[in-house]
């Protein structure tokens, strides 16, 4: 759509600049567009609300027009014809609305109107988060953050700073402090924020909660971000003790533990939605998504979709891929419970009925780790990937030099859709080849969907001493 938008903007500028009173025509044309769109889609309303133009200025603007603005050979005539043709081609009124308001925004920028005016820009100081300006006491700094502050880690800091561009710390230095003191949850939010930017989904920072209020071409929706942490009887994932404990666990014990931690997080956020978020106007009657990343034990990223498929769809994936000298086998069977502490049954398959119907989907990733940032640098290291190919039984392992390796920011993102959702998430919101979608067939009572060909299952990086 960018070519269409650029073409329309260039031609409308040419038409407006051919008029006698250029700035007056431009201003009136844009006021009329804001007036016409004020009752449009959620995304259009959001763009108008953040346009920097007070509604009192554009209310009734369409009734104050003249020929240079909406007559023959006018910007309004050109835009109307173009949008009619686009609607005829796509049959997608939401897409047309997004394209139209984007054209308006680009023209506001060109003519320095509203939030793009010099006067407006002087009034609005930058509030973007500064991740690496220390805002807490030295003894409170998280080990991961301390590691990042080493001189050799500057390339990684630069990547994380780029992720944080346009991220607004809504509560003074709260986000920066949490990034420096607790790290993982803030890292996960930064990763998600960069995902939304790359998907061209607008983030509304005027809403304090949930974590992300989002506007896209097709819908407005809310995302609550959460991570899983270790329980009170175990060590944090970054400690040597946690690594040792992980080595002593079988694969089944590893999956069982992380499944319980993930399920607890989903339940807590579901409860929060019922008691709090569901009453808010910007959340009510809109898709609500929980975004989860696992940091509950050492090597939490080595689980792919196994725990989540069990928790949401009651399907346990059993395999022997880590066992030497055995033919690779993968079996999938239905499962109703997991055992906490080996004896207390906890029901799973929460998306196989309407008990969690308020949750539209779950976003999940085991790839949103520090190595995601590392592979976006040119640091000297080796990258080990395992990739899915639909004609091969097991993932294909490859090794790459990082300087020559490329990986999209979105690779590894998984979305599990709830078939019983009150407000389903439109699949077009995340329609990218490298994003994995999972669904559940209510009639046959089984999940479907999955990874696309040549997409990553796992990734690790290895540094070698000179």
pLDDT in tens, 11-24: 999 999 999 999 99
**Mean of pLDDT over the chain:** 90
Of 344, 283, 292, 336, nearest in space to 314 by CA: 336
Query: Looking at 58-141, which runs of residues are DSSP E strands?
Result: none
Return the structure tokens found at 456.
């990553």
Q: How confident is the model at residue 28 (pLDDT cuts 50, 70, 90)?
A: very high
Specify the pLDDT at position 411. Answer: 94
Integer Cα distance of 288 and 360 in angstroms: 5
Q: Which residues contact 454 (CB under 8 A, 6 or more apart)?
A: 387, 388, 389
pLDDT at residue 425 is higher than 90: yes
Over residues 114-143, the mean pLDDT reads: 81
Specify the pLDDT at position 334. Answer: 79
pLDDT at residue 140 is higher than 60: yes
Question: Could you tell me what percentage of the chain is helix, strand and coil, using 3-state DSSP and rounding each to the nearest 5?
Answer: 45, 20, 40
pLDDT at residue 25 is higher than 70: yes
Q: How confident is the model at residue 10 (pLDDT cuts 50, 70, 90)?
A: very high
pLDDT at residue 323 is higher than 60: no
Specify the pLDDT at position 376. Answer: 96
pLDDT digit string (tens) for 333-381? Answer: 777 788 777 677 889 999 999 999 999 999 999 999 999 999 999 999 9
Integer Cα distance of 83 and 85 in angstroms: 5
Over residues 152-165, the mean pLDDT reads: 95
Q: How confident is the model at residue 465 (pLDDT cuts 50, 70, 90)?
A: low
Specify the pLDDT at position 1. Answer: 76
Specify the pLDDT at position 217. Answer: 82
Q: How confident is the model at residue 325 (pLDDT cuts 50, 70, 90)?
A: low
Angle 285-226-204 from CA coordinates, rounded to 5°: 50
Specify the pLDDT at position 320. Answer: 55
Percent of the residues in the chain that have a pLDDT greater than 90, as a whole number: 69
Of 146, 140, 190, nearest in space to 164 by CA: 190
Specify the pLDDT at position 311. Answer: 94
Percent of the residues in the chain that have a pLDDT greater than 70, as a whole number: 94
Alpha carbon 42 to chain centroid, angstroms: 18
238-247, 354-363, 451-460, range with greatest mean pLDDT? 354-363
pLDDT digit string (tens) for 57-66? Answer: 999 999 999 9
**Please, which residues bridge with residue 312 across strands?**
none
Specify the pLDDT at position 15. Answer: 96
Specify the pLDDT at position 345. Answer: 83
Return the structure tokens found at 16.
């407006």
Least confident among 170-174, 205-209, 286-290, 392-396: 392-396
Of 88, 92, 98, 107, nearest in space to 8 by CA: 107
**Please, which residues bridge with residue 227 across strands?**
293
Residue 273 burial (CB < 10 Å; 0-12/13-18/19+)? buried
Specify the pLDDT at position 302. Answer: 84
Higher pLDDT, 344 or 240: 240
pLDDT digit string (tens) for 271-283? Answer: 999 999 999 999 9
pLDDT at residue 321 is higher than 70: no
Backbone angles phi, psi at 388, to 5 degrees: -90, 130
Over residues 116-141, the mean pLDDT reads: 79
CA dihedral 114, 115, 120, 124 (to 10 degrees): 160
Query: Looking at 142-276, which runs of residues are DSSP E strands?
Result: 202-203, 212-215, 220-228
């Amino acid at each position: 759509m960018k070519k269409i938008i650029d073409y329309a903007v260039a031609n409308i500028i040419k038409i407006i600049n051919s008029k006698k009173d250029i700035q007056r025509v431009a201003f009136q044309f844009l006021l009329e567009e804001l007036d016409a769109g004020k009752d449009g889609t959620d995304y259009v309303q959001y763009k108008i609300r953040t346009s920097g133009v007070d509604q009192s200025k554009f209310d009734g603007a369409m009734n104050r027009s003249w020929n240079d603005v909406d007559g023959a050979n006018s910007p309004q005539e050109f835009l109307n014809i173009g949008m009619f043709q686009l609607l005829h081609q796509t049959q997608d009124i939401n897409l047309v609305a997004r394209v139209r308001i984007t054209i308006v925004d680009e023209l506001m920028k060109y003519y320095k109107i509203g939030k793009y005016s010099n006067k407006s820009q002087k009034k609005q100081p930058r509030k973007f988060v500064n991740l690496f300006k220390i805002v807490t006491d030295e003894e409170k700094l998280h080990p991961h953050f301390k590691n990042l502050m080493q001189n050799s880690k500057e390339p990684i800091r630069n990547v994380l700073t780029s992720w944080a561009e346009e991220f607004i710390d809504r509560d003074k230095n709260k986000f920066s402090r949490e990034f420096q003191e607790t790290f993982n949850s803030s890292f996960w939010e930064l990763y998600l924020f960069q995902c939304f930017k790359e998907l061209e989904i607008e983030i509304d920072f005027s809403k304090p909660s949930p974590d992300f209020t989002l506007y896209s071409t097709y819908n407005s929706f809310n995302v609550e971000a959460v991570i899983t942490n270790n329980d009170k009887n175990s060590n944090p994932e970054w400690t040597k003790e946690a690594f040792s404990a992980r080595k002593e666990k079988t694969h089944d014990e590893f999956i069982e533990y992380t499944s319980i931690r993930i399920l607890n997080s989903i339940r807590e956020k579901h409860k929060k939605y019922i008691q709090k978020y569901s009453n808010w106007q910007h959340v009510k009657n809109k898709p609500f998504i929980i975004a989860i990343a696992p940091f509950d034990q050492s090597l939490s990223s080595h689980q792919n979709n196994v725990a989540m498929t069990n928790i949401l769809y009651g399907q346990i994936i059993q395999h022997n891929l880590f066992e030497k000298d055995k033919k690779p086998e993968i079996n999938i069977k239905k499962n109703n419970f997991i055992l906490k502490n080996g004896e207390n049954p906890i029901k799973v398959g929460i998306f196989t009925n309407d008990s969690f119907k308020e949750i539209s989907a779950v976003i999940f990733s085991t790839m949103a780790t520090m190595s995601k940032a590392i592979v976006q640098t040119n640091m000297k290291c080796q990258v080990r990937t395992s990739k899915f190919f639909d004609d091969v039984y097991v993932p294909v392992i490859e090794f790459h030099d990082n300087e020559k390796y490329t990986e999209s920011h979105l690779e590894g993102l998984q979305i599990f859709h709830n078939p019983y959702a009150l407000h389903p998430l439109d699949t077009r919101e995340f329609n990218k080849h490298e994003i994995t979608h999972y669904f559940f067939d209510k009639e046959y009572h089984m999940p479907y969907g999955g990874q696309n060909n040549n997409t990553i299952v796992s990734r690790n990086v290895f540094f070698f001493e000179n």
